[in-house]
């Protein structure tokens, strides 16, 4: 579970653990990750992991893919955002923040996907021939990117774009790939906003008129893991929200 120490990732870790899964929490935040693993107790472990670091991702996947059980489901939630226009009175968009967002959100997701899929290759197939499932996290910003979201939208659009070819690449091995594209969710990123601003964001959603809850993301991630016909698809989870330009 990449990015599993907080927000959408934490909710997914909890949901999988409640259903009896062994969970490996991979995150750069060691304090939160270790605290969550300690709280969950049995069948939970923490591994510090920067998704852009090949060796750390490989080590986290190895920790999750214990010979006694194998790695059956991988979920990637690690990500960052950045707000800046393509060009403004101050000049062109800074290159380094754009590269950082792409590296963490897109390359980090691919890094987890490729190592997790390689580990799943060694699993014994189920009766249906399945060896595992990889769930990625994009965003509706991939489709409805707002002013100032060019770096974030580009990174999430890349995740959308790799979903189908990855699923086709891995189909012969019985490994599924599905991406969730959430809308506006009540995560720590929005927690710093005043309640009035959070309520306003919620009212922009057609139905239900509120921010999405991390548990709702987790419920979909669990369903994807349990439903073998979900493959090669990007699922919007947004209450019918289509974001305006600003």
Percentage of the chain beyond pLDDT 70 is 99
Give me the residue spans of the domains in the chain: 7-237
Instruction: Kindly tell me the sign of the dihedral angle through the C-alpha atoms of 94, 95, 99, 102.
Output: positive
- The pLDDT, as a whole number, for residue 86 is 96
Least confident of 64-73, 133-142, 154-163: 64-73
Task: Provide the pLDDT confidence category of residue 23 given band limits of 50, 70 and 90.
Answer: very high
Instruction: Using alpha carbons only, give the angle 203, 209, 210 rounded to the nearest 5 degrees.
Output: 85
How does strand 87-88 pair with strand 91-92?
Answer: antiparallel
CATH topology classification for 7-237: Rossmann fold (3.40.50)
Which residue from 96, 109, 114 is spatially nearest to 142, judged by alpha carbons? 109
pLDDT tens readout for residues 85-139: 999 999 999 999 999 999 999 999 999 999 999 999 989 999 999 999 999 999 9
- The pLDDT, as a whole number, for residue 194 is 82
pTM of the model: 0.95
Residues labelled catalytic: 152
Least confident of 69-73, 212-216, 227-231: 69-73
* Cis-peptide, bond into residue 208, ω within 30° of zero: yes
- Token duo for residue 16: 């999988």
pLDDT tens readout for residues 173-228: 999 999 999 999 998 877 767 888 888 889 999 999 999 999 999 999 999 999 99
pLDDT over 90 (residue 68): no
Q: Give the C-alpha separation, 153 to 101, whole Å.
A: 10
- The pLDDT, as a whole number, for residue 185 is 95
- Token duo for residue 132: 């595992």
Q: Helix %, strand %, coil % for the chain, to 5? A: 45, 15, 35
Average pLDDT, the chain: 95
- The pLDDT, as a whole number, for residue 187 is 86
List phi, psi (to 5°) of 187: -115, 170
């Amino acid at each position: 579970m990449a990015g599993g120490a907080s927000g959408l990732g934490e909710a997914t870790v909890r949901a999988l653990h409640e259903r009896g899964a062994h969970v490996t929490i991979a995150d750069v935040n060691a304090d939160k990750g270790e605290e969550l693993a300690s709280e969950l107790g049995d069948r939970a472990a923490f591994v510090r992991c920067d998704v852009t670091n090949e060796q750390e991702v490989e080590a986290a996947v190895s920790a999750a893919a214990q010979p006694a059980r194998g790695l059956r489901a991988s979920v990637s939630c690690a990500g960052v955002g950045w707000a800046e226009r393509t060009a403004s009175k101050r000049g062109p968009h800074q290159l380094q923040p754009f590269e950082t967002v792409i590296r963490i959100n897109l390359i980090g997701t691919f890094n987890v996907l490729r190592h997790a899929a390689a580990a799943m290759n060694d699993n014994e197939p189920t009766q249906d021939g399945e060896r595992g499932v990889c769930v990625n996290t994009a965003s509706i910003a991939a489709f409805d990117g707002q002013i100032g979201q060019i770096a974030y939208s580009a990174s999430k659009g890349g995740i959308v774009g790799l979903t189908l070819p990855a699923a086709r690449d891995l189909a012969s091995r019985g490994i599924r790939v599905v991406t969730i594209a959430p809308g506006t969710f009540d995560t720590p990123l929005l927690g710093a906003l005043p309640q009035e601003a959070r309520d306003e964001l919620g009212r922009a959603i057609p139905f239900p008129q509120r921010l999405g809850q991390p548990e709702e993301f987790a419920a979909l991630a669990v369903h994807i893991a349990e439903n073998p016909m979900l493959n090669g698809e990007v699922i919007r989870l947004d209450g019918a929200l289509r974001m305006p330009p600003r």
